[in-house]
Each structure stands twice: as C-alpha cells, then as structure tokens.
Amino acid sequence: MKRLALLAYLLLAVGIFSSTWVNPAGSWIGSPKDPQLFIWYLGWIPHKLTLFSDYLSYPDGVNLMWNTSMIFPALVLWPVTAVFGPVVAYNVLVTAGIALSAWFGSFDAACTRRSPAGSRAERPRRNCSPAKSSWR
C-alpha cells in the first residue's frame, strides 16, 4: 500500500511538471535563476569532486561551500547525470522531491490520525516516528 502511494505521488508530480517532462533535457522546472546554479552543481560534482573551482569567478575562483551546494544529491544522481546530463538530473531531483515530500507527509498524517486529539497536546509528536517506536 505504501509503495502504491509513492507511485501515485510520483505520477502526480510528473503530471504537475508535464510541460518539462515533454523535453526533459531541453527545459527545467522552475524560474530561470536558481535552477541554473543547481544544474551547474549537479554537473560539476561528478566532473571534478572538489569544493573549489576557478570555472566561476575566474581567475580567483570560488569556494563552492559558500553557496547552497548540492554535493549529496549530485553524488546520488551521478548515474543520471552521466547518462542524460545535469538538466535531466535536476528535473528528476525536483520531481522526486515533491513526490517524496508528499509520501513522507502521508506517514505523519497517518500517525496524527491514530492519536486522539486530546492526547496530542499531552505527548510529543516525535513518539509517532517509526524510528522512536522501538524506544518506548
């Protein structure tokens, strides 16, 4: 049931961004400003795994940790970037982010529904976490 919900959220996210998924390598999700930097990070990290680059602000270079870098997502999406390019990897990242946010939100909603309204004020919400359930 949970996997079916994830698939449904993923299909909804693809549907929301369907205009981009018609040509995923030729357009990206979002405005023309921040996505360009994130796409550059997704392409740069697999190219050269460093946190300093003189490809930006030449000749002095720039410390890539001064901006919102995408090191972990770039490493996770490395295969997608290598095969399809950084624009497609960015579109996969944003689409998966929407679907996974909805999926994990449904876990929280299910936890909240199980507890009575009065007891929510008495006990912390973190007790609903699956990670904490074995600690009781």
pLDDT in tens, 32-47: 788 988 998 899 887 7
**Residues 37-73, buried b or exposed e (16+ Cβ, 10 A)?**
ebbbbbbbbbeeeeeebeeeeeeeeeebeeeebbeeb
Residue 5 forms beta bridges with which residues?
Answer: none
Q: Is the pLDDT of residue 5 over 50?
A: yes
* 59/38 Cα distance (integer angstroms): 22
Q: Evaluate whether 9 touches 99 at the Cβ level (below 8 Å).
A: yes
Residue 108 has pLDDT above 50, yes or no: yes
Domain boundaries, the chain: 31-98
Summarize pLDDT for 10-21 with one digit per residue, the tens: 999 999 999 999
